[in-house]
Amino acid sequence: MGLIQNILAVIVVLGLLVTFHEFGHFWVARRCGVKVLRFSVGFGKPLWSRVDRHGTEYAIAAIPLGGYVKMLDEREAPVPEDQLDQAFNRKTVWQRIAIVAAGPVANFLLAIVAYWALFVAGTTVVSPMVGSVAPDSRAAEAGLAEGHEIVAIQGDEMRSWEDVNLKLVSIIGFSGELNIDARPEGASDAQRYGLPVNDYLVRQDPPQPLQTLGITPWQPEFPAVLGQVVSGEAADQAGLEAGDRMVAVNGEPVDDWMHFVNIVRGSPGETLQLTYERDGEQETVNLMPGRNSLETGDEIGYIGAGAQQVEWPAAFQREIRYGPVEAVGQALSRTGEMTLLTIDAIRKMLVGLISPSNLSGPITIAQVSGDSARAGVEAFVGFLAYLSISLGVLNLLPIPVLDGGHLLYYFMEVVRGRPVSEKTQAVGLRIGLAMVGTLMLMALYFDLMRLW
């Protein structure tokens, strides 16, 4: 069931993103007088199609991993004399720039609308309350302690753990004093704590912003009860089901979920005698955690199961809601913030501050899509907005075959006063295809590494 949900979720996500992206190209092309021959969501053989009165074919194809808008163009096929004025290549350079840029712009607009809807409907976040601080860590040495609520980092207001993590990830590579403003439990005023860091999170795989500082977020006690079991994994093979309570492992009582997780992670490939409770009765089975390799070469165990969710106390929750007008500014601000964060992450990956293993491909997107869909509408819409921004940014990279590569050629045409030669564009196309193909293979490889 989890696999089916993941597949359906990724089809919905990619379908929406591709449709909006291609509609941006389509809409502006029509306004510029370009004849659109086909608007396709997906690649391959069409599963459904129809032709409108303008002669444009709308199609949904079998492979839902992209899409395209095919326009009348003399460079691709002969164009009838009476339709030359509708050919893409006959339009002014600024019209061509507008048509190509419209796809990524549509993705940014989709993100703005999604964030606006979330802010108007109201989002519930968890306040950034410190649960524990590791002894001798940077946080402990600075004076942070259990019960402190983080209210600002480097002068920027923090309202949730999402804000905290995004801020910390944005300063990867920072060296100096990291200023955290926190309010001690029961106090009304915040105090500033300076944490010295050097090359913060550089080449960590994956980055662990809070753990690196020695901070563990507060969370309610999670009983060792299974919330979901992944089909085919060790927990499923042992006969475990959602709702089972873990009682003991090898005769050692299980205190809570994290205690159980630590036992499993520390026992890759080992046979564990597990006692669990179901419907008031206890049973014992043998369970062998699978092996998951880390970048360090170490192995951890996993069984393919998740914890049953618990309710957070109202005192630790915070609702963020804005009026329709105020939400516009907030949505623009959040979209801009996430766009800059994405661009900065790409830059840091290129200079080696972030490991390329953080690249994600279709498998990770499917997993996160499914998880966010199961977590509720709020999480799903938020993920959709972020992925739309990522798609917009990636398409604007100056790589031939991407929209950004075409824009690069057109801006060169503006500067030079004449188009870039077709020979140069052909060479660039081959280079671009090689670059994009390499990135896709790398992303798929790291997907599989994370999966296995």
Residues 327 and 301 in one domain: no
Q: Which long-range contacts (CB under 8 A, 24 or more apart) does 47-54 make?
A: 54/30
| Domain's final residue, options 217, 251, 274 | 217
Residues 168 and 235 in one domain: no
**38, part of any domain:** no
**153, part of any domain:** yes
* Structure confidence at residue 100 (pLDDT): 96
* Average pLDDT estimate for 118-131: 91
* Structure confidence at residue 1 (pLDDT): 47
Q: How far apart are CA 288 and CA 267, in angstroms?
A: 8
**312-332: buried (b, 16+ CB within 10 Å) or exposed (e) per residue?**
eeeebeeeeebeeeebbebbe
* Structure confidence at residue 139 (pLDDT): 92
**406, part of any domain:** yes
* Average pLDDT estimate for 346-351: 87
| Domain's final residue, options 217, 240, 263 | 217
Instruction: Pinpoint the alpha helices (H) of 1-80.
Output: 2-31
CA angle at residue 95 from 89 to 96, to 5 degrees?
A: 45
**420, part of any domain:** yes
Residues 153 and 264 in one domain: no
| Cα-to-chain-centroid distance, residue 346 | 14
Residues 357 and 441 in one domain: yes
- What is the number of domains present in the chain? 3
**180, part of any domain:** yes
Range of the domain at 384: 109-122+321-452
Give backbone dihedrals phi and psi of 60, rounded to 5 degrees, phi first: -115, 120
Query: DSSP of 301-362, one letter per residue?
Result: EE-SEEEPP-PPPGGGEEEE---HHHHHHHHHHHHHHHHHHHHHHHHHHHTTSS-GGG---H
Residues 195 and 294 in one domain: no
Q: What is the CATH number of the domain that holds 288?
A: 2.30.42.10
**329, part of any domain:** yes
The DSSP H or E segment spanning 261 is helix 257-265
Residues 380 and 448 in one domain: yes
Give this prediction's pTM. Answer: 0.80
Residues 173 and 245 in one domain: no
SS3 content of the chain, % helix, strand, coil (to 5): 45, 25, 30
Identify the residue with better confidence: 165 or 292: 165
* Average pLDDT estimate for 403-421: 93
* Average pLDDT estimate for 381-409: 93
Q: What is the pLDDT of residues 280-317, one digit of tens each?
A: 899 999 999 988 765 456 778 889 888 888 877 887 88
**242, part of any domain:** yes
Give backbone dihedrals phi and psi of 294, rounded to 5 degrees, phi first: -95, 165
Burial of 172 (0-12, 13-18, 19+ CB in 10 A): buried
Residues 426 and 332 in one domain: yes
| Domain's final residue, options 310, 339, 372 | 310
Q: What is the pLDDT of residues 37-77, one digit of tens each?
A: 999 998 888 899 999 998 999 999 888 778 899 999 998 88
**392, part of any domain:** yes
Beta bridge partners of 130: 217
In the chain, % of residues over pLDDT 90? 52
* Average pLDDT estimate for 161-187: 90
Residues 344 and 450 in one domain: yes
In the chain, % of residues over pLDDT 70? 97
Describe the crossing of helices 161-170 and 324-350 by its angle, rounded to 10 degrees.
40
* Structure confidence at residue 331 (pLDDT): 96
Residues 325 and 424 in one domain: yes
Residues 147 and 116 in one domain: no
Rg (CA), the chain: 26
* Structure confidence at residue 451 (pLDDT): 64
* Structure confidence at residue 49 (pLDDT): 92
Residues 152 and 200 in one domain: yes
Q: How far is CA 432 from CA 322, 350, 399, 422, 435, in A?
A: 43, 17, 6, 15, 5
The residues annotated as belonging to the active site are 22
